[in-house]
Amino acid sequence: MRAAIHANTGSSPRYENRQPPDHTTMELNPHGSTVRLQGEQHLAMHDALGWSVRALSGTVWITQDRDPRDVVLQAGESFTLDRNGAALLTPIGRTEFRLQHACADRAACGSASGRRPWQPRSGPQAQTA
């Protein structure tokens, strides 16, 4: 799965000129990826259902599409993303967390098409930010 790390640019001149925000795309390993973010960054995930987030240090604020809850994790706490769609992980200060997909070690989690949830779709939908 690809995810994008964005710089929060709400008050910058770049935002006011409506230019696209700075971002870095990273490939998430379903067996586990460690992510380090600072207060001016956030991680945007698409098709986030089933990914587990474990805070290793600091605090991470999690929001999911169509979910009224805000989940805040501190070091040692974890949460599994339970909504199909996008999720936004925002650090409060310096934060380190681990992402792992629930289906990484279970063949039974594949869909009817045989595609694992973290594998890109084929065709035009495969484009990610």
Domain ranges of the chain: 2-103
Question: Which is higher by pLDDT, 103 or 75?
Answer: 75
Q: Which residues contact 83 (CB under 8 A, 6 or more apart)?
A: 48, 49, 64, 65, 66, 67
> Rounded to an integer, what distance in angstroms lies between the CA atom of residue 95 and that of residue 113?
36
pTM of full prediction above 0.75: no
Question: Which is higher by pLDDT, 124 or 92?
Answer: 92
Contact 26, 2 (CB under 8 A): yes
Tell me the average pLDDT of the chain: 77
User: Minimal CA–CA distance to 33: which of 70, 71, 6, 5?
Assistant: 5
Would you place residue 20 in the very low, low, confident or very high pLDDT band (cuts 50, 70, 90)?
A: low
> How high is the pLDDT of residue 124?
38
Average of per-residue pLDDT across 42-70: 94
Q: What CATH superfamily classification does 2-103 receive?
A: Jelly Rolls (2.60.120.10)
